[in-house]
């Protein structure tokens, strides 16, 4: 599972704490036209960060030559201070400071 320390590498503290605060115990919370949270969203988002970090670590260390991480919620649309397009945290940037999730595969043919 990803940690708040990992998330803080690319998202501001106010955004992260506000998102955690509005995570519902039940039902849905609509954040914008595309993005909503249910009671499992916060944990799912942290698990997605952890999975993306594990995959990125494996590629960066040379353990594997590439990786594909299929998660929900995805992370590639998230901005520094707001969720967007179903995304809460920019998973690839949460460890290695990559400019976007798509950069994790930029070196692949």
Give the whole-angstrom CA distance, residue 46 versus residue 52.
10
**Which residue is catalytic, options 6, 11, 77, 91?**
77
Half-sphere exposure of 84 (CA within 13 A, CB side): 8
- Establish whether 76 is a catalytic residue: no
> What is the CB neighbour count within 10 angstroms for residue 63?
9
| Residues tagged active-site | 77
């Amino acid at each position: 599972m990803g940690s708040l320390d990992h998330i803080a590498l690319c998202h501001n503290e106010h955004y992260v704490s506000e998102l955690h605060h509005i995570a519902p115990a039940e039902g849905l919370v609509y954040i914008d036209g595309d993005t909503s949270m249910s009671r499992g969203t916060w944990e799912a988002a942290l698990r997605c960060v952890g999975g993306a970090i594990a995959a990125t670590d494996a590629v960066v260390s040379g353990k594997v030559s590439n990786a594909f991480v299929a998660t929900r919620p995805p992370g590639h649309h998230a901005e520094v201070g707001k969720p967007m397009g179903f995304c809460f945290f920019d998973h690839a940037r949460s460890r290695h400071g990559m400019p976007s999730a798509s950069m994790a595969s930029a070196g692949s043919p």
